[in-house]
Every structure is written in C-alpha cells, then in structure tokens.
Structure 1
Amino acid sequence: MKLRQILAAGLLLIVVTVILYPTTATGTVNLSARYEQAVIEAEPPVGRLVFKGITNLYVSFSEVRIHSANEENQTGWLPISFGTPSLDIVDLKNESGTILVTPTVPVGEYNGVMLAFSNVTAVFNGTTAQVESVPAYVVVAHHFAVRSGSETNLKLKFTVDYRALNSSSRVFFEVKPLLD
C-alpha cells in the first residue's frame, strides 16, 4: 500500500506540473501609445508649421508581433495579436492609451515590436476621412523581458506628421519606445 501511495503522489505531482506549467511559462505584455504632433521646420519667414484642426486620429493594427532577442531578424517574430480595436491616439480618453494587453506571451528576452497599420481615420476641421499610413508597418527596436506571471509595460510614442493630409490623404508615423 505504501508503494502505491508513493506512485500515486508522484503521478499527481507530474499531472499538476503539466497542467500548471503554461501559467508559469507566460507573462503579460501591455502595449500602450502616447501621441505627439511632428514639428515641421520651414524656411523663414514661415518658421514652424503646426497643423490645427486635427481633433482625432483613430488607429488600429492588423497585426502586432514581438521579436525574440535570440533569433535573427528574418525569423523569431512572434505574433501576439491579429487585430486591435481602434484607438484615438490624439484624444486619449482611455488615459492609459492601451493598444492591447496580451496575457499569454512566452517568457523570454525580446528586442523589437512590429505594428502593421490596418485602419487610420483622421478627423480634421470636422471632416472624417480614411487616410493612408506611411509606412504601412513599423518596427520598433526596444529590448524588454517577459517574466513568468508578471506584466511588462511597453510604451510607444507615435509622432505624427500631417503635411500630406490635404494633398494625398496620407499621415506619416514615426514610432519610438518611451523609456520610464
């Protein structure tokens, strides 16, 4: 009977380990946005150009990937989202600016984030217009670690250039990590 109890306890321990392993081998990634309008320097006497009348810029992404630090650039891209809700990055009523929260990211070291724009809509001077994002996707070099059972906060600054908004319905994005 004693041997049987020991084997049952060992088997139970193995089953519990197999069941709980995925929860200990993942962490959460919280990706958020901050907005800044690009400052355009023009020749004197014009000086700095500031585009007014842009009240909203709704952005969504068709895909978000992170890059494993141990892999080469062409490989190692792990998809963490295939579509995000639209986020107004100009008027962040959602004060955190959350793009997405993914609770099941494998534990590890990462060195990049890739965002593929899917839909960008601008509201300027009361008119809503679908605009093209340039570039169509961005790769942000940023080293971060995902730890077991913990949350990793990634903050990205979206600097937006509206120079081509009226002439060609384009908005230019520069995205960089915000370091705390």
Structure 2
Amino acid sequence: MGSRQVFSAFLLLIILIILLYPTTATGTVSVAASYAQAPPIETPLGPIIITGVTNLYVSFSEIRIHLANERNDSGWIPIIYNTASVDIIRFSNNPGVIFSTPTVPVGEYDRVFLRFGNSSAVVNGTTLNVESIPRFIIVDYRFSVKSGSETALKLKFTADYRAINISKPKVFFEISPMQD
C-alpha cells in the first residue's frame, strides 16, 4: 500500500468520524427526585391537614427533553417510556434516582416533559389507585448532555392530597427544579 493510499484511507476515516460523531455521541441522563407534601390548605374554619398517606407510587408513561435552540413545538426528544413505579415519599429526606438512561444525544436542553403513568397511594393501610393531576408537566430546566458523561437532573415533587378521600381519588402535583 503506497503512501497515497494510506493518506486517502486516513482522510476517509477522519471524514467518517466527523460525519458520524454527532449521531453517535451520547451521554447519560438520570432523574433524581425529592418529595414534599403541600402545606395545609387554609379555610375559614382552619387549616385542612391530610395525614395517613404512607406511600405514593408513581410511574411515567413518557419523559422527553427539549433542545434549547428549537421552537416550542419541535425539538422534543423522548428519552424513556414506561418507567418502573417508584415510591416518592421515601425521598422526603434524601433525593433518590427515578431512572437513568445512557443514550441521550449530546446537546443543550431547556425543558423536561413528564407524563404520569399509573399512580397509587397507601392511605391508612389501604392502597388506592389515584389520578395524577395534571396528567403531564413541563419543567423549565436548563442542562447540557456531554458525550460519555452523566447529567443528573434533580426535581422536587410536591404532592397535594386534598382530593385523596373522594370516590375517584386524585393527587395534585407540582414539580420544580431542585436547587443544589
């Protein structure tokens, strides 16, 4: 093999790497959660304090992230479907990982979309299937995914149980980025 052929093969290899790198460069994204119960509801008769909820299991049917430089209706990248159910109350004192996925494209992102799957709560020893309100949440959260590294997203889940004791139990959620 002559020097021209070696040089040509090397040049072809460099061109292929440059062309394929953006499509093969991925990083890992993990989502950690902390939990808080919403403060008591103030009424003219005094605060309504909900007690007896010992477990709150949630799963997500879909989680997407949004590319920072794309318009709102485009740029959404699904990163996981149908997560395992996790008891988020156990994350009251220490945040815990909900899921981790190793194949997220490298880039800058600005939002996280979470669509609730099945949810249930254990209230005074009884397990109830509950409806998560809202069904999905979009959280403003700027982060970068770098090739070969892990990006940890930290979210605070605040649960409001004001409708836990009705015929079709509901849990109202607020999700926000956690401050380090």
Same fold, TM-score > 0.5, yes or no:
yes
Deviation at 1:19, TM superposition (A): 9.8
Secondary structure at the counterpart of residue 3 of structure 1 = helix
C-alpha distance in 2 between matches for 1:70 and 1:23: 17
Gaps of 5+ in 2: none
Task: Please name the residue that 2:4 is paired with.
Answer: 3
User: Is 2:122 the partner of 1:123?
Assistant: yes
For 1:137 and 1:157, the matched residues in 2 are separated by 15
Q: Is the 8 A contact 1:24 1:149 kept in 2?
A: no
2:164 corresponds in structure 1 to 165
**Alignment-derived partner of residue 178 in structure 1:** 178
- 1:46-75: per-residue Cα shift (whole Å, max 9, x none)? 33x332211111000000001111111122
Contact 2:65 2:77 in 1 (8 A): yes
Alignment of 1:72-91 (within 5 A): 72-91=71-90
Residue 139 of structure 1, CA deviation: 0.8
Q: Is 1:21 aligned to residue 38 of structure 2? A: no
Q: TM-score, normalised by structure 1?
A: 0.87
Cα-Cα RMSD: 2.3
Distance 1:4 1:88 in 2: 61
Larger displacement relative to structure 2 (75-84 or 18-27): 18-27
Alignment of 1:1-180 (within 5 A): 1-14=2-15, 17=17, 21=21, 25-43=25-43, 46-47=46-47, 49-92=48-91, 96-167=95-166, 168-180=168-180
Contact 1:55 1:91 in 2 (8 A): no
Q: CA deviation at 1:108?
A: 1.5
Tell me by how many angstroms 1:7 deviates. Answer: 2.9
- In 2, Cα distance between the equivalents of 1:118 and 1:127? 20
Determine if contact 1:54/1:122 at 8 Å carries over to the other structure.
yes
Query: In structure 2, what is the Cα distance between the partners aligned to 1:114 and 1:150?
Result: 22
Structure 1 unaligned runs (5+)? none
Structure 2 CA distance for partners of 1:19 and 1:110, relative to 1, 3 Å:
closer
Q: What letter matches 1:149 in structure 2?
A: G
Compared CA separation, residues 104 and 22, structure 1 to 2 (3 A) = farther
